[in-house]
Amino acid sequence: MFALYEGYEKVRHPHPLDDWYWPVGVLLFALAAEGTSLRTAVREARPSKGGQSWPGYVRTAKAPELPVVLLEDLGALLGLVLALLGVGLAVLTHNGVWDGVGTLAIGALLVAIALVLATEIKSLLLGESAGPEAVARIRAALVDGDSVHQVIHMRTLHLGPEELLVAAKIAVPADATGARIASAIDEAEARVRAAEPTARVIYLEPDLYRPELGPPPPAGGAARS
């Protein structure tokens, strides 16, 4: 907001740039420094990116540290380019308005990045469900066709970047004894943890399997949308 205010004032009251080589030199040095930082963040994020697009990675990442660093460094680089363009045009045209236009563009960029970060961090703070691939792995691991016939419904919730809560109602045979049901639940939990290591907290509720009712409609994995 301060950048927007400063840009507005520069557009209203433009003035020529004195000793322009100092700001240009500082901006070029900052570009090199921020470029190095962004390259490091990209290198660290690439192993966990898993073939996703960068926007997809930022949207689905469960640990906020790398997306925050990526967006901050990217925003800083774009802001420096806009500042360099504004200063360059102001020097070339001898019109200080361009410096104000560049500052306004930087302010708008910062607001946009802040909104993206607020949206992503809010989803993590309020509780985000597991991704579709993780949900599919968990559902497949729960069912063995013998002691667990199907998943009636399931919900997932990230308690942290590497800690996932799974709550599900599973269908067991009608003639299963209490001991067999307890064993089936233990085995299902072991299969889920093997398929999805982040599923550390698992709550399973057994229910009777009634084939005449047919398979249930697909249940979503989200705890919150």
**Tens digits of residue pLDDT in 166-224:** 999 999 888 888 899 999 999 999 999 999 998 989 999 998 866 555 554 444 444 43
Measure Cα distances from 53 to 43, 45, 48, 134 in Å: 14, 12, 12, 18
Give yes or no for a contact between 125 and 106, defined as CB atoms under 8 angstroms apart: no
Domain positions in the chain are 2-126, 132-213
When mean pLDDT is compared across 52-56, 87-91, 141-145, the lowest value belongs to 52-56
Of 143, 194, 131, the closest CA to residue 168 belongs to 143
Of 192, 217, 219, the closest CA to residue 203 belongs to 192
CA distance 225 to 106: 32
CATH class name, domain 132-213: alpha beta
Note the pLDDT of residue 224.
37
What's the rounded mean pLDDT across residues 9-24?
81
Question: CB-based burial of residue 221 (10 Å sphere; 0-12 exposed, 13-18 middle, 19+ buried)?
Answer: buried
Give yes or no for a contact between 149 and 173, defined as CB atoms under 8 angstroms apart: yes
Q: Tell me the whole-structure pTM to 2 decimals.
A: 0.53
Phi, psi of 151 (to 5 degrees): -100, 120
**For residue 215, what is the DSSP state?**
P
Cα 85-118-99 angle, rounded to 5 deg:
15
Of 155, 126, 129, 115, the closest CA to residue 60 belongs to 129
